[in-house]
Structure 1
Amino acid sequence: MSTGQRRIVRALVDTHGRTYADEAGIRLRDTPQPLYRLLVLSHLLSARIRGSIAVATARALYDAGLRDPRRMAAADWQERVDALGRGGYRRYDERTATQLGEAAALLTERWGGDLRRLRKEAGGDLDRERRLLREFPGVGPTGVDIFLREAQLVWPEAGPTLDPKALQGARRLGLPSDPDRLLDLAGKTEPAVLAAALVRAAVDEGVAEDTLERAG
């Protein structure tokens, strides 16, 4: 395994190794509110919109008090639209406002507002977790990938994993597209942090260029 590839991974992680949850101000723990906020963030990030806008919108929803499923479901549609707009999420605001309300109602009614109960229902079966997560309106395969990519920090059965978008970033950097080789290159780096950094390289050519320049 080349020293050059290790330098690239180190430069990437050192400069861009920050999870999206952390950027959105979510102190991720295996407790109801952080997990719910991660679900909302994953929903927002899965749309064809800049990650920075999705992160800003997740913060705007939190600042508006829509920080748990009960409050999200109780808010009226216009309140959700306005919060989305303040975050810059205007292209999809009306549809997303509806989906967020429906998803919050489903989480509240079926799992008591607690994603840990969804996890318990899945019984440690990751494929089952994926299927259950996809029941939330607006959360498709990409949204599930994003959620589990970050949730692996607190849900061990979800990792270690690098999703397809992370592997796309690896290819852009000239790194192996085999997850095991990438994890080996990253050493003790948390897989969720490595995955987030690789995703940033996938979606932002500037990140990839900066990383390669730093790696020399």
Structure 2
Amino acid sequence: MSERSTARALVREAGTTYAEQAGIALADKPSPLYRLLVLSVLLSTRIKAEIAVAAARELGEFPTAERMRDSTWQQRVDALGRGHYVRYDESTATALGRGAELVLDRYRGDLRRLRAAADGDPAEVQRLLREVPSLGPVGAHIFCREAQAVWPELRPHFDAKALSGAEKAGLPADAHRLGELVPADDHARFSAALVRITLEKGLLQEITASA
């Protein structure tokens, strides 16, 4: 199978983004971007992706930075618990409250202002994201990996986990070469698929067998 055929098969069979899985209809609007930020915080800890996604769904009851800030610490802990995000629930509940305050104080609750502050520089987007409590470099990459669907200046964004998946699939472990294999609008889905084949045992074999 050619590299392009492999890439298309991965997008088709495993290209559900983590935002989609968490019930986030991603758009360049304050609420879905904030919910993606929360999801990125949850995914950046040492916990299974499906648990982080489930917790993000539960935290969807606080869909804006203002609603998150105004929630109680216990409400956040309870939402995380319903998603079985129990190992880091207390520290994460604290971090989410502090992160909401930062987003409100610095960007008036609208991460499009962070985008504007970065002035089209992907590295600056990541630097600003790393200021969010409990996000860090891994979480910033996760946010950019998904946000490239609506922030085209981030494309192509394939982080270390996605590049590892590319290598596993026999594809170039280079972001720009990967970006050439699928349409730009599919970069986020392709990146998600590459991550999934590193995390879900046997998935790559299933996809290549059915292609």
Looking at structure 2, the residues matched to 7 and 129 of structure 1 have their Cα atoms a distance apart, in angstroms, of 32
Match of 2:122 in 1: 126
Percent identical among aligned pairs is: 53
Looking at structure 2, the residues matched to 34 and 147 of structure 1 have their Cα atoms a distance apart, in angstroms, of 12
Match of 1:53 in 2: 51
TM-score, structure 1 length as denominator?
A: 0.92
Q: SS of the counterpart of 1:186?
A: coil
Paired residue type of 1:73: R
Looking at structure 1, the residues matched to 121 and 176 of structure 2 have their Cα atoms a distance apart, in angstroms, of 21
Looking at structure 2, the residues matched to 188 and 132 of structure 1 have their Cα atoms a distance apart, in angstroms, of 24
Match of 1:77 in 2: 73
Paired residue type of 1:67: P
| In the alignment, structure 1 residue 176 sits paired with structure 2 residue 176 | no
Any residues of structure 2 matched to 1:147-166 within 5 Å, and which? 147-166=143-162
Any residues of structure 2 matched to 1:84-103 within 5 Å, and which? 84-103=80-99
Paired residue type of 2:170: G
Match of 2:113 in 1: 117
How far off is 1:187 after superposition?
4.8
Looking at structure 1, the residues matched to 48 and 99 of structure 2 have their Cα atoms a distance apart, in angstroms, of 22
TM-score, structure 2 length as denominator?
A: 0.94
1:78-120 deviation line (CA, Å, top 9, x unaligned) = 1100000001101110110000000001111121111011111
Q: Which residue, out of 128, 133, 138, partners 1:137?
A: 133
Looking at structure 1, the residues matched to 185 and 31 of structure 2 have their Cα atoms a distance apart, in angstroms, of 26
8 A contact 1:43–1:138 mirrored in 2: yes
How far off is 1:189 after superposition?
6.0
- Size of the aligned set, in residue pairs, is 211
User: CA separation of 1:107/1:189 partners in 2, compared to 1, >3 Å: closer, same or farther?
Assistant: closer
Match of 1:214 in 2: 210
Match of 2:37 in 1: 39
1:127-158 deviation line (CA, Å, top 9, x unaligned) = 22111111110111010001011111111111
| In the alignment, structure 1 residue 67 sits paired with structure 2 residue 63 | yes
How far off is 1:6 after superposition?
3.2
Q: Which residue, out of 12, 16, 23, partners 2:10?
A: 12
1:47-98 deviation line (CA, Å, top 9, x unaligned) = 1111111111111111xx2111111111111110000000110111011000
User: CA separation of 1:105/1:177 partners in 2, compared to 1, >3 Å: closer, same or farther?
Assistant: same
8 A contact 1:173–1:212 mirrored in 2: no
Q: For structure 2, list consecutive stretches of 5 or more residues without a partner in the other structure.
A: none
8 A contact 2:146–2:188 mirrored in 1: yes
Looking at structure 2, the residues matched to 211 and 49 of structure 1 have their Cα atoms a distance apart, in angstroms, of 25
Looking at structure 2, the residues matched to 187 and 104 of structure 1 have their Cα atoms a distance apart, in angstroms, of 34
Q: For structure 1, list consecutive stretches of 5 or more residues without a partner in the other structure.
A: none
How far off is 1:188 after superposition?
6.3
Looking at structure 1, the residues matched to 148 and 36 of structure 2 have their Cα atoms a distance apart, in angstroms, of 12
